[in-house]
Amino acid sequence: MSEFAKLAEGGIYFVGIGGVSMSALARLLSDRGVSVRGCDARESCFVRELRMCGIGVTVGTEDTIKENVVVYTEAVDIHSAMLERFRAEGKTLLTRAQLLGMIAREYPRVLSVGGCHGKTSATSMLAHIFFVAGMAATCHIGGEDLEFGNYRSTGNEYFLTEACEFRRSFLSLRSDIAVILNTDLDHTDCYHSAQELLDAYRSFAASARCVVVNADDENAVKIPHTLSFGLYAGDVRATRLHAEGEKYTFTICDRGLPVARVSLNVPGKVQVQGALAAYCAARLSGLSAQSIAAGLQSFRGVRRRFERIGTFAGVPVISDYAHHPAEIAAALETAEGLCKGTVRLVFQPHTYTRTRDLMADFVSVLKRAENPIIYKTYAARERFFFEGSAPALVSRIPEAQYVQTPPDLRRRLTDELEEGDLVLVLGAGDIDDIIRGLLD
């Protein structure tokens, strides 16, 4: 019996079970016969889905639990009263990342996708490749694939997962194949320099048997690797690109040889890079180029990744999770390619530290938009400080407009929208819920 199987014998209790990754892990364990339940701060679609699967969820906190193992999300304060109480009772406490690493070790082959942007889409692409090819695979992602959500399992030979860099979570994983999509500086509350982040990626790669890197990323390509990909460099490249409605068709060239023609059903050139990364990981796993192409074409997208969610005042609304300057740039480029009028950008900053530390980059990319609307910061785990706030960002962009309530946002959009425009809503906080509440 493995270490994990022994730990799981008495059941596992999840603190923050309604999170996108946590709920996927809870369902995975339940499917494998482990007794699972937990608590979360609020009702959500994930909480409701867990209950439909027979997994008990308490909204709020519990004073006593029977389980000996407690898993908590990194969003929970390690010194919270609940965790301190469980610790005093002698419970075994694991972070989400530690649990993910233990689960991964239960599978013969592990493929993990890391990078500051694009992890969810690339992991979902990889899952579609394996599922269409009929492989016995379990997929865990930090988002919602439009077909299968955040978790799906067709067998236990392969484990496909996102590898999150936040607080060095991905160092708990030991991968057969590790993918590094990019190394842009982010999470400056736990990485104090680009070098610190790069060192973490190096450690992540060093624990893998094979490594796939983005050759267009000047830092990623310096990491020892097995295979590289890119639009402009690398072993695996996309040639003969053609776009219709920002959806790309291209030929995959593997070390100079054209091996497959692919038509993606998701918009944005950035998706081509994700497809190349997924191709590399799948080829190293022994899948054929043609089966990979079929899997990529079956991918229809991920919720909140350039997702058309409806209309406002008759104008189409696109919602995207972009909360880093590089992600904003990619989403804006795609929107501009689709829009006949003006792209009306709504952005909600996510955390004060990120806004402060990447301020110059945020200002540069947001100035590209016409009269961008900046919504009140989503603080997440942080306390307010002006230097990283939305008003501080707006003060550096003369054309920007600050709003802090849904009615303010409704009025601002109503005043500015014209026929042919497109509303692009960006941010990783609650801005998606807010804009959905304003739709026609």
Q: Is 138 found in the same domain as 243?
A: yes
Q: Within this chain, do residues 222 and 159 fall inside the same structural domain, yes or no? A: yes
Amino acid at site 234: G
Is there a domain that residue 102 lies in? Answer: no
Q: Please, which pLDDT band fits residue 18 given cuts at 50, 70 and 90?
A: very high
In percent, the amount of the chain with pLDDT more than 90 equals 89
Based on the fold, state whether residues 293 and 184 are members of the same structural domain. yes
Residue 271 and residue 318 in one domain: no
Closest CA to 218 of 262, 180, 246: 180
The region of weakest confidence among 23-32, 57-66, 389-398, 403-412 is 57-66
Nearest Cα to 123, choosing from 172, 178, 171, 167?
178
pLDDT of residue 111: 98
Looking at the domain assignment, is residue 88 inside a domain?
A: yes
Residue 78 is predicted with a pLDDT of: 80
- The string over 391-407, giving b where at least 16 C-beta atoms fall within 10 Å of a residue's C-beta and e elsewhere, is ebbbeebeebebbeeee
pLDDT attached to residue 198: 95
Band of the pLDDT at 405, cuts 50, 70, 90? very high
Answer yes or no: do 294 and 311 share one domain.
Answer: no
Average pLDDT value over all residues in the chain: 95
Please answer whether residues 428 and 321 qualify as being in contact, where contact means their C-beta atoms are separated by less than 8 angstroms.
Answer: yes
Question: Coil, strand or helix: which one is 354?
Answer: helix
pLDDT higher than threshold 60 for residue 148: yes
Q: What is the pLDDT of residues 222-265, one digit of tens each?
A: 999 999 999 999 999 999 999 998 999 999 999 999 999 999 99
Instruction: State residue 322's pLDDT score.
Output: 95
- Determine the pLDDT at residue 1: 52
Q: In the prediction, which pLDDT does 182 show?
A: 96
CB 139 within 8 A of CB 123: yes
Residue 3 has pLDDT above 80, yes or no: no
Q: Is 331 a residue whose pLDDT tops 90?
A: yes
User: What per-residue confidence (pLDDT) applies to 202?
Assistant: 97
How many of the other CB atoms lie within 10 Å of CB of 328?
25
Q: CB-based burial of residue 274 (10 Å sphere; 0-12 exposed, 13-18 middle, 19+ buried)?
A: buried
Whether 256 and 322 map to the same domain: the answer is no
Instruction: Measure the CA–CA gap between 241 and 238, rounded to whole angstroms.
Output: 7
Q: Provide the pLDDT confidence category of residue 8 given band limits of 50, 70 and 90.
A: confident
pLDDT at site 63:
78
Q: What is the CATH number of the domain that holds 25?
A: 3.40.50.720
Q: Which of 298, 331, 359 is the last residue of a domain?
A: 298
| CATH code of the domain in which 397 resides | 3.90.190.20
Helices (H), 347-389: 352-357, 359-366
Among residues 47, 90, 35, 97, the alpha carbon closest in space to that of 71 is found at 97
99 domain-assigned: no
Whether residue 394 has pLDDT greater than 60: yes
Residue 54 lies in a domain: yes
On whether both 9 and 32 belong to a single domain, the answer is yes
The domain boundary, picked from 94, 123, 140, lies at 94
* Angle of helix 289-298 versus helix 270-284 axis, rounded to 10: 140
For residues 207 and 214, give the distance between their C-alpha atoms in angstroms, rounded to a whole number. Answer: 18
Same structural domain, 187 and 269: yes
Q: What is the pLDDT of residues 202-212, one digit of tens each?
A: 999 999 999 99
Residues 134 and 275 reside in one and the same domain: yes
Summarize pLDDT for 267-293 with one digit per residue, the tens: 999 999 999 999 999 999 999 999 999
Containing 167, the helix (H) or strand (E) segment is none
**Is 100 inside any structural domain?**
no
Q: How far apart are the first and last CA of the chain?
A: 56
Domain annotation covers residue 292: yes
- Domain count within the chain: 3
80 and 121 both lie in a single domain? no
Strand-pair category, 307-312 with 315-320: antiparallel
Q: What tokens does 343 get?
A: 């792209």
Of the residues 298, 315, 342, which one is the last residue of a structural domain? 298
Task: Please give the residue range of the domain that contains residue 76.
Answer: 3-94
**Are residues 279 and 315 located together in one domain of the fold?**
no
Tens-digit pLDDT profile for residues 173-205: 999 999 999 999 888 888 989 999 999 999 999
Which pLDDT does position 166 carry in this prediction? 86
Domain harbouring 138, CATH code: 3.40.1190.10
Q: What per-residue confidence (pLDDT) applies to 185?
A: 84
* Residues 252 and 322 occupy one common structural domain: no
Please say if the pLDDT value at position 15 is more than 60: yes
Q: Is residue 101 part of a domain?
A: no
The whole-angstrom separation of Cα 424 and Cα 344 is: 6
pLDDT of residue 266: 96
